[in-house]
């Protein structure tokens, strides 16, 4: 039985499209943008497609991102067709059949993992389906799909490849990726193996290979940008243009709030509250529902001042606080990751504070190091949106007292240390 492809849109007919929240509208606009790019590449009118054009688009989306993205794309295209007052071909039976087509496990390796929740009770399935975020599930799916493709090309069974073939795959990963990335790939493959095959990711030989990669290529240490460096970057712009005002506000928010690129891209013009001592932003990001950026004593780094300048240019209307340029004007969708990196790099070079490896992460590192010294790792992790204080210590404050205490705790867990301590305590005193 074919399911309706636009069941989510039944609540909003053509005359009620404005009832969608700003976040939903932004997501659907992104889906519509991808559809227009695909139509341009395939040389057909995106507003008057054929059934075969839509089916080809959904086939391409499923091959690249899986079945869940196909259904989300169908919602966005339905919204796009309704908003443009065009015939909605999403309801066509052939298109609906393609949208709700079940994907074979070979094409969607993580489907075997998520399908296990179907055997649970209704109350337990609700929690099992939420065990991993959509971002984690997407990353695991991509990594598992890459492993299946490599195993099929090498003539090995993806579920029972043998330790030699699996070690060869890990060695190929080691030629291009760091140890942390390899561990993430292995975590995804472990979920692919879970309950279906022996887990080869925990084999001592595989662990030895990853440890060797970590020793040969240790994690890259990004240089930090502190408040003094940010002040030079701001003062290097004498008469800011519209894009200059946007860039200055972007750098100030990342430096004073310890924000990552994903946090900056989630800021919305309408979802903010200006307070006496700063500005509060509201987002839908996990662990960063509320982002408070306080005022600085330096007028050059005043958040409220630069925010007022930027909103006078952008306009106080719903949409991304830092939009990208579309045909020479600012749109509604946030700028991409590459644009944010380019802004920070150019301003650092102009101010004379650039070093090899400078990136937006450098602003976050400077904030975390200062905050760890002043308020501690626990509060820093809460403000910067980390899962635990250990993430702050491992990533940015490796030489702090917290890190030394943690290394000592790990040492005490080792059986050899406990045995030596027991023998020392049991030794009779003279």
Q: Is 215 exposed, middle or buried, given 0-12, 13-18 or 19+ CB atoms closer than 10 A?
A: exposed
The pLDDT score that the predictor gives to residue 320 is: 87
* In the predicted structure, residue 246 carries a pLDDT above the cut 50: yes
* Per-residue pLDDT tens digits for 6-59: 333 333 333 344 456 777 787 888 888 889 888 888 888 888 888 888 888 888
The pLDDT score that the predictor gives to residue 429 is: 45
pLDDT band at 280 (very low <50, low <70, confident <90, very high): very high
Tell me if 230 sits within 8 A of 255, measured CB to CB. yes
CA distance 89 to 39: 15
pTM attached to this predicted model: 0.56
Mean predicted confidence (pLDDT) in 235-256: 85
What percent of the chain shows pLDDT beyond 90?
10
Q: CATH assignment of 7-103, given 3.40.1130, 3.40.50, 1.10.150, 3.30.1330?
A: 1.10.150
Q: Across 118-132, 181-195, 375-389, which has the greatest mean pLDDT?
A: 181-195
Q: CATH assignment of 227-395, given 2.40.50.140, 1.10.10.10, 1.10.443.10, 3.40.50.720?
A: 1.10.443.10
- 7-103 matches 116-216 in fold: yes
Class in CATH terms, 116-216: mainly alpha
Tell me if 113 sits within 8 A of 188, measured CB to CB. no
The pLDDT score that the predictor gives to residue 166 is: 93
Mean predicted confidence (pLDDT) in 208-225: 83
CA dihedral sign, ordered 101, 104, 108, 111? positive
The pLDDT score that the predictor gives to residue 417 is: 43
Locate the domains of the chain by residue range. 7-103, 116-216, 227-395
The pLDDT score that the predictor gives to residue 344 is: 92
CA distance 77 to 65: 16
CA distance 256 to 293: 7
* In the predicted structure, residue 393 carries a pLDDT above the cut 50: yes
The pLDDT score that the predictor gives to residue 13 is: 38
The pLDDT score that the predictor gives to residue 62 is: 78
The pLDDT score that the predictor gives to residue 16 is: 44
Tell me if 35 sits within 8 A of 79, measured CB to CB. no
Non-local CB neighbours of 27 within 8 Å, separated by 6+ positions: 72, 76
């Amino acid at each position: 039985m074919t399911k309706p492809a636009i069941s989510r849109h039944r609540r909003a007919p053509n005359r009620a499209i404005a009832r969608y929240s700003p976040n939903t509208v932004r997501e659907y606009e992104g889906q519509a943008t991808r559809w227009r790019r695909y139509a341009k590449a395939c040389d057909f009118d995106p507003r008057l497609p054929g059934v075969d054009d839509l089916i080809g688009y959904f086939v391409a989306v499923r091959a690249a991102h899986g079945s869940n993205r196909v259904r989300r794309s169908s919602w966005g295209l339905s919204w796009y067709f309704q908003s443009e007052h065009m015939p909605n071909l999403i309801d066509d039976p052939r298109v609906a059949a393609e949208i709700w087509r079940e994907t074979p496990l070979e094409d969607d390796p993580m489907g075997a993992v998520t399908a296990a929740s179907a055997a649970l009770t209704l109350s337990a399935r609700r929690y099992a389906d939420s065990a991993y975020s959509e971002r984690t599930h997407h990353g695991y799916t991509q990594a598992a799909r890459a492993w299946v493709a490599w195993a099929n090309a090498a003539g090995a069974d993806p579920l029972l490849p043998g330790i030699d073939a699996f070690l060869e795959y890990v060695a190929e990963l080691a030629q291009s990726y760091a140890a942390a990335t390899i561990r993430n790939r292995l975590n995804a493959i472990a979920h692919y193996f879970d309950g279906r095959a022996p887990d080869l990711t925990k084999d001592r030989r595989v662990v030895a290979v990853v440890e060797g990669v970590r020793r040969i290529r240790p994690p890259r240490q990004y240089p930090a940008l502190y408040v003094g460096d940010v002040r030079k970057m701001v003062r290097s712009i004498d008469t800011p243009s519209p894009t200059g005002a946007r860039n200055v506000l972007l750098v100030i928010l990342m430096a004073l709030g310890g924000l990552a690129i994903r946090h900056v891209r989630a800021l919305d013009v309408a979802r903010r509250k200006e307070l006496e001592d700063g500005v509060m932003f509201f987002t839908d990001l996990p662990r960063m529902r509320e982002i408070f950026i306080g005022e600085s004593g330096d007028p050059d780094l005043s958040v409220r001042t630069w925010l007022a300048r930027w909103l006078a240019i952008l306009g106080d209307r719903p949409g991304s606080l830092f939009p990208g340029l579309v045909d020479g004007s600012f749109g509604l969708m946030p700028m991409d990751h590459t644009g944010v990196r380019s802004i920070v790099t150019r301003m650092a070079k102009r101010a004379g504070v650039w070093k090899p490896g400078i990136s937006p992460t450098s602003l976050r590192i400077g904030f975390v190091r200062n905050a760890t010294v002043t308020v501690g790792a626990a509060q820093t992790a809460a403000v910067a949106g980390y899962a635990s204080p250990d993430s702050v210590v491992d990533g940015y404050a490796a030489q702090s007292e917290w890190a030394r205490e943690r290394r000592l705790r790990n040492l005490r867990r080792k059986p050899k240390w406990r045995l030596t301590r027991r023998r020392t305590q049991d030794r009779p005193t003279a």
